[in-house]
Amino acid sequence: MIKPTCEDTFLLKKRNLKNRYFAYTFRPYTQVKKCKPGHFLQLQIPQTDIFFRRPFSIAGVTPAGDIEIIFKIFGKGTALLATLEKGDKVNLLGPLGVPFTLPKKNEKTILIAGGVGFPPLMYLAVEMIAKGYDPKSIEFFYGGRTTDDIIEKSRIKKLGVNFHPVTEDGSYGMKGLVTKPVEEFIQSSDTNMRIYSCGPTGMLKAADSLGLKYKIPGQLSLEAPMPCGVGICLGCVKEKTDGGHARVCCDGPVFEIGEIVL
């Protein structure tokens, strides 16, 4: 278990990705070497009276000490976050949570991303490739309502993974819900597979069901309200399938397929 730090950093780079999405790079961050895909940060919204920090998955790190998040404006906190400018100071608590476990080298990796669940899966793909996994062993399924919901298309393509964008209105990639082509892929493949998913609850439920139905192991990264982020307040508790309970912030946010009642 990593001991998190609480430290000030500065907004180094701000990219407006359109459709209310922003990519922020902060520097310096002393914990970059400890960060792993699936970890998240609790970010204090600066210059406001907002008391609770907001959780964001780590989207990537660099050896130079940069850390990136990608967020979508959702409510008051993220709207204020979007007004920050280069050089503004931000306080980060992290890295927090249990990260993803990397797949076995002989497994096909199926990433199922949706909405703001895409950043930790992109980080997972980058980490796997850096560790010598063949990019072509990664199937990156990414679902959204329209083409505007599929963020960082060219960045994902550049990774060399098998990219499968899916939109509900068919404006980009395949038409429909992302889990349909995932199921078709699973049915047509006879190799060992592992599923990783992060996104809206409906999508996570479908990914969980696919894993259980086809006996494919994998992990899901969950969201929950996170007042403290460090296991104290019990504001993030979910029911487990074995009858127990888990805190999403510190027992997760990454859980095994079949572990949590979704």
Q: Provide the binding-site residues for ligand FAD, judged by CB under 6 A.
A: 40, 52, 54-57, 69-72, 74-78, 116, 119, 223-227, 235, 253
Beta carbon nearer to ligand FAD, 12 or 236: 236
Say how far apart CA 95 and CA 46 lie, in whole Å.
19
**What is the CB neighbour count within 10 angstroms for residue 219?**
25
d(CA 262, CA 258): 9
Q: Which two tokens stand for residue 147?
A: 């083409």
- Site map (CB under 6 A) of ligand FES, residues 195-234, x = contact: -------------------------------xxxx-xxxx
Structure tokens belonging to residue 145 = 């309502």
Taking each helix axis from N to C end, the angle separating 179-188 and 201-213, rounded to the nearest 10 degrees, works out to 20
Select the binding partner of residue 231 from ligand FES, ligand FAD, none (C-beta < 5 to 8 A, by kind): ligand FES
CB under 5 to 8 A by kind: which of ligand FES, ligand FAD, none does 253 bind? ligand FAD
Least separation, in Å, of the C-beta of 54 and ligand FES?
Answer: 12
The angle formed by the CA atoms of residues 184, 187 and 192, to the nearest 5 degrees, is 120
Among ligand FES, ligand FAD, none, what binds residue 200 when CB lies within 5 to 8 Å by partner kind? none
Q: Does 235 bind ligand FES (CB under 6 A)?
A: yes
170/225 with CB nearer ligand FES: 225
What does the alpha-carbon distance between residue 118 and residue 53 come to, in Å, rounded to a whole number?
A: 21
